[in-house]
Amino acid sequence: MTTAETPRSIRNDARLAKAMSSPVRIRILGMLNEAVLSPKQVAERLGEPLENVSYHVRLLRDLGCIELVRTEKRRGATAHFYRATTRAFIDSTASSDLDLEARAAITSTILQESFRLAYTAAARGTFDSRTDRHLSMTNLTLTEAGWRELNAVLDEVVETALRLQAEALSPEAADEDKVRTDLVLAHFPAAPAD
């Protein structure tokens, strides 16, 4: 797999639940989907202790979510560089393979990370810096068939977004044409009315 290829989503429920149950691991997977990095580089970007990041990197490697790309000798030590082989994404098919407890843990983690991303962008002024950004909230009433169709469309949106990212990360893409973004999608049953 080259860095421009789109990593697959995680399909095995045990690996998915373990990999996605930590905000730090989700952030590491996101970073390693964009670039080949060492744990030290990841720790510096996250502002996390190297020991903590190294633990999560080892776990992601053991789960098969990332792979070693190369090693480099640096001042008597060996630096290891990794890339993602999976992405932090649960489509409707993968979600159906998980038990309720695993889905709830992943939901909590992804919502926490989504709120962190949105809050940080708003606080730093980037959320509203473009007039062509998208923000919406839509309350719906759907049939079961409509529910399934909308989930399929949302899965396609994520696949399209990941394909576009792969194109942007290819060696042919011009650096000045790149825009870093965050995409958060959620489709869930509404809470009962009070």
Per-residue pLDDT of the chain (194 residues), as tens digits, is 334 444 444 444 566 667 777 888 888 988 898 889 999 999 999 999 999 999 999 999 998 889 999 999 988 889 999 998 877 666 666 677 777 887 787 888 888 888 888 999 999 999 999 999 899 989 999 999 999 999 899 989 988 988 898 888 888 888 777 888 988 888 888 888 77
Count Cβ neighbours within 10 Å for each residue of 143-152 and write b for 16 or more, e otherwise.
Answer: eeeeeeeeee
| Predicted TM-score (pTM) of this structure | 0.69
Query: What is the architecture, at CATH level 2, of domain 8-125+133-177?
Result: Orthogonal Bundle (1.10)
Other CB atoms within 10 Å distance of the CB of residue 113: 20
